[in-house]
Amino acid sequence: MINRLTIIGVGLIGGSLARALKSGDAVKEVVGTSRDARHLQRALDLGVIDRIEMDLGTAVSGADMIVVAVPVGAMEDVFAEIAPYLSADAVLTDVGSTKTSVVEAARVAFGELPAGFVPGHPIAGTEKSGVEASFAELFKQRRVILTPTEASSAGAVSKVRAMWEKTGAIVTETSVTHHDEVLAATSHLPHLLAFALVDTLATMDDKQEIFEYAAGGFRDFTRIASSDPLMWHDICVHNEPALLKILNRFEADLDRLREAIAKNDSDYLLQVFSRAKVARDQFCEGE
C-alpha cells in the first residue's frame, strides 16, 4: 500500500497510473502537481487525484512514492526543484522514454544518484494525451521496463516493481543503454517516420486530395503522428546516439529498396516483403 503518491505531470500516463492504483486499492492518497492549475483541477474533478499542490516542494513532502511524468527535457529542472524536499525513505521513479538522459539529469540535480531513485518506462500509451484520455486498464498486460542504477536500493526497486504490477503490468529490468537502443528501434523510429511522412504529404501542393484519398493503411501507419509533439521532440533530442544508429540502418535499407524499384528487381522486393510479413505475423500472433 502506498500511503501518499505524488504524480508530477498528471496526463495520460500519470493519470492512468493513478486510476489503476485507486481501482486496486493500492494507494491511500494521490497528490497531483504540474504548472497548469486548470489541468490539475480537471484531474481532481475526474477523481484521478485527491489533492492539488501547485508547489513542487510541498507536493513531494511526506510522499513515500513520487512519479515524475513530464517530458524528458524537463526532468533535470523537476529533480533539482524537489531534491531538498524528498523524505529520506521516499522512492522516486519516472516514466520517461529515454533513460540515459533521465539518469544523467538525476545525477546533475542530486549531485549523486539517490538510493531511492529507480528509473522506469511503461511501454504503453495511445496517440491521445491529457488526463481526459487516461484509463485504469492502460497498463494491463503491457510491459514496464525498470532500469535500476548502480545506486538503486533493492527495497526501492521492489516497491516500484510492486506498484506497476498492481496495475496489471508485466515488469522487467534491463540496463539503461540497452533500453535506449531497443526503444530507439521499436518506438522512437516508428514515431519519427510517422511524423515525417505526414509532414511530407502535408506540404505538397495537392495535399487536400491526398488526404481525402487516404485509406485505412495510411491511417493505421500514421496514427501515432497524432501524439504529443513536445514529448516526441524531447525523446528524439535526448536519445540521439541510439536513434541515429537505427536511423542510419533504416536509411541504408530504404536506399536498397529504392534501388530495387529503379532496377525492377522484383525478386529483392518480394524477398523483403515476405520476410517482413513473416516477422510481423510472428511478433503480433494473437493480436
Q: Is the pLDDT assigned to residue 163 strictly greater than 90?
A: yes
The model's confidence at residue 59, banded by pLDDT at 50, 70 and 90, is very high
pLDDT above 90: residue 214: no
DSSP codes, the chain? -EEEEEEES-SHHHHHHHHHHHHTT-EEEEEEE-S-HHHHHHHHHTTS-SEE-SSHHHHHTT-SEEEE-S-GGGHHHHHHHHGGG--TT-EEEE--S-SHHHHHHHHHHHSS--TTEE-EEE----S--SGGG--TTTTTT-EEEE---TT--HHHHHHHHHHHHHTT-EEEE--HHHHHHHHIIIIIHHHHHHHHHHHHHHTSTTHHHHHHT--HHHHHHHGGGGS-HHHHHHHHHHTHHHHHHHHHHHHHHHHHHHHHHHTT-HHHHHHHHHHHHHHHHHHTTT-
Q: Residue 137 is placed in which grid cell?
A: 486498464
Q: Collapse the DSSP code of 204 into the 3-class scheme (helix H, G, I; strand E, B; otherwise coil) and give the result.
A: coil
* C-beta neighbour count of 232 within 10 angstroms: 20
* Whether residue 42 is found in the same domain as residue 20: yes
Give tens-digit pLDDT for 61-95.
999 999 999 999 999 999 999 999 999 999 999 99
The predicted structure's pLDDT at residue 45: 97
Q: Which amino acid is at 181?
A: E
> Residue range 137-146: average pLDDT?
97
Residue 174 has pLDDT above 90, yes or no: yes
- The band of 219, judged by pLDDT with boundaries at 50, 70 and 90, is confident
Write down which residue in 174, 195, 218 finishes a domain: 174
Assess whether pLDDT exceeds 90 at residue 217.
Answer: no
Q: What percent of the chain has pLDDT over 90?
A: 87
Task: Give the confidence band of 286 by pLDDT, cuts at 50, 70, 90.
Answer: low
The percent of residues in the chain predicted with pLDDT above 70, rounded, is: 99
Domain that residue 65 falls in: 2-174
Q: Is the pLDDT of residue 211 over 90?
A: no
Asked which of 151, 174, 197 is the last residue of a domain, the reply is 174
Rounded CA-CA distance 258/143 in Å is 35
Calculate mean pLDDT across residues 155-181.
Answer: 98
Of 174, 190, 222, the residue that ends a domain is 174
Do residue 66 and residue 113 come from a single domain?
yes
Query: What is the tens place of the pLDDT at every residue in 237-267?
Result: 999 999 999 999 999 999 999 999 999 999 9
Mark whether 211 and 260 lie in a shared domain.
yes
Question: Looking at residue 258, which CATH number applies to its domain?
Answer: 1.10.3660.10
Entry pTM: 0.88
- Where residue 22 sits, what CATH number does that domain have? 3.40.50.720
159 and 183 part of one domain: no
Domain identity same for 166 and 203: no
Report the domain count for the chain: 2
Q: How much is the pLDDT for 287?
A: 56
What's the rounded mean pLDDT across residues 175-203? 95
Statement to judge: residues 229 and 91 lie in one domain: no
